[in-house]
Amino acid sequence: MIYSKKLIEAVFVLPFIPFLFFPLVSHAKVFDKVVARINSEIITLSSVEEKSELLRNQYERSSSTTISEKELLGEALNIIIEEKLQAQEAEKRGMVVDEASVDAALKNISDKNGLDEGQLEEMLEREGKTLSSFRNHIREQIMVSKVSRYELSNRVKVSDKEINKYYRSHQKEFWKDSQRHARHILFIVEPGASEKNRKEKFDQAKKILNEIREGGDFINIAREYSEDVSSSNGGDLGFITRGKMVVEFESAVFSLREGQVSDIVKTEYGYHIIKVEKILAGKTLTLKESKDRITKLLSAQKSKEGYKNWMSELKKAAFIEVSLFSGSSKNNSMISRGLKTEKDAVSIRNKNKLSSATDKRKQTLQKKWEEMYKSVEKSKKTSELNSLEEKLKQIKKLRNQNTISEDEYQRRKEKLLKHL
């Protein structure tokens, strides 16, 4: 589901790099220890350090903000805790991920990255992992997506009253600028063209303009003479708003009346003959026209708050013991704050200095793994959409067999489509 995918990415899913979840053997032997317990599960130091490395890479790519080792480790630990809590919650509710969904994700990964199953296994083996463990990770990610989608769909409700209120108080957001449906015929003049060539093109444009003004069909003439890619469509440019075209072209378009043809217009591309087919005046969109947009916007806002509240509830109900920081703490709010002493921070920084060979291998594989993770997300979306399509077919069949009424059919259909 498109909405769900965006939501999940926004609130808790990070791009997947397998070594963040399956620590390198050499790394684990030297540094691994239990740094947190979440109910019956443990979190190791290596998994936190490696998750923090991914976070660091993300911050470096997307932000100029400097973040300390303390903050990175705290944030990494918090993400892992929340993922485990969600997976445990899904298990409590009896949610399952069928093998077909995992198979589809693996196939999507292989196809998108040009790998067959043997090559994928070889890549995993180089990192000390197995195909089975990789499948388990994919299964867990799909499960987390499934339970969060279900929970947030129940928590996030947008009422008509809220939609109306937003619409009334944000009228400027729903202003739609004036538009012109335009066609054109272009005679290209290459940069650096001679005066002779320019004159030839201008004379050709002038001849065609006279033909149009004498009653020639603009569309047919555009198909025959225009040198623009739009020629096959009769020069059709669709609806144009201000700020989308070069200044000379835009000025001509917005000075024409409906059905009027311009004089020859010179731009950096050459000579144009323009016709405006239709004019749509600027207007404020109606509430009905804006409702879907407002619903999505308010849903996104509520989803962030809903996710935050849900995580707070899960953490309060769980046994969480953290020993990553100085001393051991249970259900500790320090999870999102990081280490207490600079000594701890220095120690972690030293531990993060892996051998140059290992660092080089991580950097080489990182881009490939990130692309593979995107493939996993795409497969989840495809699987969910296929499931939705089957459910829609089932209720339609019930209606056609008169097993359910038209009203009941519409009610069930609306309920299914609400999650898109």
pLDDT of residue 331: 59
**Residue range 178-281, CATH number:** 3.10.50.40
**Residue range 2-155+319-389, CATH number:** 1.10.4030.10
Name residues of the chain where pLDDT drops below 50.
1-31, 332-358, 361-362, 365, 369, 373, 376
pLDDT of residue 367: 53
Q: What is the pLDDT of residues 336-391, one digit of tens each?
A: 333 333 334 333 344 444 444 445 544 554 555 455 545 545 555 555 555 666 67
pLDDT of residue 371: 53
pLDDT of residue 344: 43
Q: What's the alpha-carbon Rg for the chain, to the nearest Å?
A: 30
pLDDT of residue 14: 31
Task: For residues 403 and 144, give the distance between their C-alpha atoms in angstroms, rounded to a whole number.
Answer: 35
For residue 368, how many C-alpha atoms fall within 13 Å in the half-sphere facing its CB? Answer: 15
Taking alpha carbons only, the member of 101, 49, 103 closest to residue 77 is 49
pLDDT of residue 66: 77
Q: 10 Å Cβ neighbour count for 75?
A: 20
pLDDT of residue 412: 72
pLDDT of residue 8: 28
pLDDT of residue 158: 94
Q: Where in the chain is the domain with CATH 3.10.50.40?
A: 178-281
Q: Where in the chain is the domain with CATH 1.10.4030.10?
A: 2-155+319-389
